[in-house]
Amino acid sequence: AAHAQASVYVTWANLHLSDVPSTTGPTTQPQSFWASGIGGGVTVNILPLPVVSLGIDLRGSTKSGTNGADTALGGLKLGVHPPAMPVKLYLQGSVGYLGVRPASGVTNKYGAWEILGGLDYPLIHFVAHGYAEGRKANATLDGLSSGALR
- Residue 84 corresponds to which amino acid? A
Question: CA neighbours within 13 Å on the CB side: how many for 119?
Answer: 7
CB–CB of 28/108 below 8 Å? no
Closest Cα partner for 110 from 123, 99, 126? 99
CA distances from 131 to 49, 92, 114 (A): 25, 10, 9
Digit-by-digit pLDDT tens for the chain (150 residues) are: 455 677 787 888 778 888 888 777 788 888 888 888 898 889 898 998 889 999 999 999 998 877 888 999 999 999 998 888 878 888 999 999 998 888 876 778 889 988 888 877 655 444 444 444 444 444 444 454 544 444
Three-state SS for 30-45 is: EEEEEEEEEEEEEEEE
